Structures are given as structure tokens and as C-alpha cells.
Amino acid sequence: MKEKVNAIIDILKQEYPNPLCALHYQKDYELMIAVRLSAQCTDARVNLVTPSLFAAYPTLEAMANADISHVEELVHSCGFYKHKARDIVLGCQMLISDYGGKVPGTMEELLKIPGVGRKTANLLLGDLYKVPGSVVCDTHCIRICGRLGLSQGKDPKKVEMQLRKILPPEESSDFCHRIVLFGREICTARNPQCSRCPLAIWCSEINKA
């Protein structure tokens, strides 16, 4: 398994040498907000919405004091806008009241923030703090790692724990970003481009036939 994991990582590094987060942000709390908006929404859509949101409320304090109904209007096209707007404002309030105006750097603290689950927390830890072992277990990760035999099942937390056991901690965050890029370009959910897949040798979907 170790050799397999290292080989997959090496190939993904060649294919996607710059595994940056697709969400646009400049401040730590802006990434927290963008990730919340991305739930059941495309990153491309979020990147269209956040410029207006961040312009309307250019500081953490402004966002924390925002009128939730106005935030709802600004993020409406991201879906589930009522829940997302509420979490954004309450989350920013908690950053000020509990965390000194900064996105905290531990899983335990992050999970206390409204709208922040393990996927969001791992992304924030990996991107903002470079915490080793941060595994962002989204739908791409679950689907592709299952196909590659790196994990079993579809429960995000269980898949995360399985991957934590086999991924080199220093590679985990970038691996997950690369998997997202790979999942969008080649290993898509409905029409995977199997004929040009660089990881085909390990794919259970291709080899089960």
C-alpha cells in the first residue's frame, strides 16, 4: 500500500504541480466564509459571489455586524442561503468574541464555529496553518479514493481516518487539492475520462471488467 500511495502521489504531482485551493480569498476569515458557501455549490459560483460580499463587508468586524437578511441576498445564488448567511455572520462574531479575531488553528476550536464541519476544518488547517495530516474529505476524495482502493465506504469521517493512516502527513493537504483537480478534469462522477487516466492501473472501476 505504501508503494501504491507514493506512486499515486508522484503521478498527481506531475499532473497538478500547483495544488492551490480553487476558492479566492485574501484574509483567513474570507477562506472560512468561502468554504461555507461552497457546500453543495461549485467553487466557480462561490468565486462570483464573494467579491460583492467582501466589498459590502470589508472587515471581520463589518461582517460580524452585518444584517443577515442582506447577506442572504448577496449569497442567494449559492443555495441554502439562509443557513449559510446565518453561519457566516455568527461565525465571524465567534472569531471576535472567542478567538481574538483570527481563525483558530486546532480542530477542536474550529468545530465550535457555526457551519464548520470536519471537511472545512481540515481545509482551513491545511491551507492556513500547513498542519500535517489535514485530509479534506469531499465528494471527489471519497469517490476517487474508493475507486483507487485507498478507502472504503462513503462516510466522510471514516474515509478521512482511513486516509490519515496511509497518506504521508506532509502530503495530505496537497493530495486532497490534487484529487479535486483530477476529479474535475478526468475522474468525474458521471463520465470519467478513463481512456486518458494516468491512474488507470489502480482503478477498480476500469479493472473490474
Domain of residue 197, residue span:
2-19+134-207
**Where a domain ends, among 129, 144, 162?**
129
For residue 61, pLDDT beyond 80: yes
For residue 2, pLDDT beyond 70: yes
pLDDT for the residue numbered 204: 86
Amino acid at 183: G
User: pLDDT tens-digit profile of 121-173?
Assistant: 999 999 999 999 999 999 999 999 999 999 999 999 999 999 999 999 999 99
Question: Do 117 and 154 have their domain in common?
Answer: no
Q: d(Cα 43, Cα 74) in Å, to the nearest integer? A: 16
Question: Do 189 and 155 have their domain in common?
Answer: yes
**Where a domain ends, among 69, 97, 129?**
129
For residue 25, pLDDT beyond 70: yes
CA distances from 193 to 110, 176, 200, 202, 204 (A): 37, 19, 10, 15, 14
Of residues 28, 84, 119, 127, which has the active-site annotation? Answer: 119
Question: Do 36 and 112 have their domain in common?
Answer: yes
Mean confidence (pLDDT) of the chain:
96
Of residues 28, 127, 138, 174, which has the active-site annotation? Answer: 138
Residues 6 or more apart from 184 whose CB is under 8 A from it? 140
The pTM of the full predicted model, rounded to 2 decimals, is 0.93
138 is catalytic: yes
Question: Do 122 and 69 have their domain in common?
Answer: yes
For residue 209, pLDDT beyond 80: no
Question: Do 113 and 139 have their domain in common?
Answer: no
User: pLDDT tens-digit profile of 179-196?
Assistant: 999 999 999 999 999 999
28 is catalytic: no
CA 94: distance to chain centroid? 21
Question: Do 56 and 103 have their domain in common?
Answer: yes
User: Whats the size of the chain, residue-wise?
Assistant: 209
Domain total in the chain: 2
**Where a domain ends, among 129, 149, 183?**
129
What share of the chain in percent tops pLDDT 70? 99
80: pLDDT confidence band, cut at 50, 70 and 90?
very high
Question: Do 90 and 163 have their domain in common?
Answer: no
Comparing C-alpha atoms, which of 94, 108, 161 is closest to residue 134?
Answer: 161
Question: Do 122 and 147 have their domain in common?
Answer: no
Residues 2, 207, 172, CA angle at the centre, nearest 5°? Answer: 30
